[in-house]
C-alpha cells in the first residue's frame, strides 16, 4: 500500500481514502491483472491508484473537475496513468456507455447509489465484485438494501481506526473517521 503522505492532496477534494481502508478494500476486491475495474467517485484517486497497480484497466469517474484533476496528478505521480481512463461526468451516463467489467468500486454517488448499483450490476461480469465505501448511515442502508434486491449477499464491515501520534509525554491515539465497507459478489448462475 502507498502511504497516505505519498499522495498529492488539496483542501477542495477530500482524501485520499486512508491507507488502512485502501488495504481492506483491495483485500475485498481481490483485483487481478486481468480485471477491468470501475471506480465511481474517484475523489483524489487513492483507490484508483491502488486499483491500477493491480488491474488490467481502470475507469475512474467523478463529476467534480477538481477531483478529476487531482486524480490525474496522483496517477502521474505513481506512474499508472497508462492503465486508467479518467472520466469527468455523471456516473450513470458513463456507466451506461461502458462494456462489462469485473469490479465496481463506489466511493461517492451524489445520491444516486441505488441507480449506480443497479446499472453497475447489469454490466458486472458473473462472479464480479461490488464494493461500496460509506461514511453516512443512509448510504449503508441504501447499499445493503439495493444489493439484496439485486440478489446479492452483502458483507458489511464497520471500521474504526486510531493511529498513534508521538507526543512529549507519550503516544496519543487519534481516531480517524469510521467507515463502512459493503462488499458483495455477483452470483455465477
pLDDT in tens, 56-77: 999 999 999 999 999 999 999 9
Question: What value does the mean pLDDT take over residues 167-182?
Answer: 92
Instruction: Determine the length of the chain.
Output: 189
Helix (H, G, I), strand (E, B) or coil at 78: coil
How many angstroms separate the CA atoms of 128 and 60, rounded?
A: 17
Share of the chain above pLDDT 90, in %: 92
How far lies 169's CA from each of 162, 166, 172, in Å? 18, 8, 9
Contact between 48 and 105 under an 8 Å Cβ cutoff? The reply is no
pLDDT of residue 89: 96
**Domains in the chain and their CATH numbers?**
4-185 (3.40.50.150)
Predicted confidence (pLDDT) per residue in 151-164, tens digit: 999 999 999 999 89
CA pair distance 166, 16, nearest whole angstrom: 23
pLDDT digits (tens, 9 = 90+) for 74-103: 999 999 999 999 999 999 999 999 999 999
- Residue 189 pLDDT more than 80? no
pLDDT grade, residue 139 (50/70/90)? very high
Amino acid at each position: 500500500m502507498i502511504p497516505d503522505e505519498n499522495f498529492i492532496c488539496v483542501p477542495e477534494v477530500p482524501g485520499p481514502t486512508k491507507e488502512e481502508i485502501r488495504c481492506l478494500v483491495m483485500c475485498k476486491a481481490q483485483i487481478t491483472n486481468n480485471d477491468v475495474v470501475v471506480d465511481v467517485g474517484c475523489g483524489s484517486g487513492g483507490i484508483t491508484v491502488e486499483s491500477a497497480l493491480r488491474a488490467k484497466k481502470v475507469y475512474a469517474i467523478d463529476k467534480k473537475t477538481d477531483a478529476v484533476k487531482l486524480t490525474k496528478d496522483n496517477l502521474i505521480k505513481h506512474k499508472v496513468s497508462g492503465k486508467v481512463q479518467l472520466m469527468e461526468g455523471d456516473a450513470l451516463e458513463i456507466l451506461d456507455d461502458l462494456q462489462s467489467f469485473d469490479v465496481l468500486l463506489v466511493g461517492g454517488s451524489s445520491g444516486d447509489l441505488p441507480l449506480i448499483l443497479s446499472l453497475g450490476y447489469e454490466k458486472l461480469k458473473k462472479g464480479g465484485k461490488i464494493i461500496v465505501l460509506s461514511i453516512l448511515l443512509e448510504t449503508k442502508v441504501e447499499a445493503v438494501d439495493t444489493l439484496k434486491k439485486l440478489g446479492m449477499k452483502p458483507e458489511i464491515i464497520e471500521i474504526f481506526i486510531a493511529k498513534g501520534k508521538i507526543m512529549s509525554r507519550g503516544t496519543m491515539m487519534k481516531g480517524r473517521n469510521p467507515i463502512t465497507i459493503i462488499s458483495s459478489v455477483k452470483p455465477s448462475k
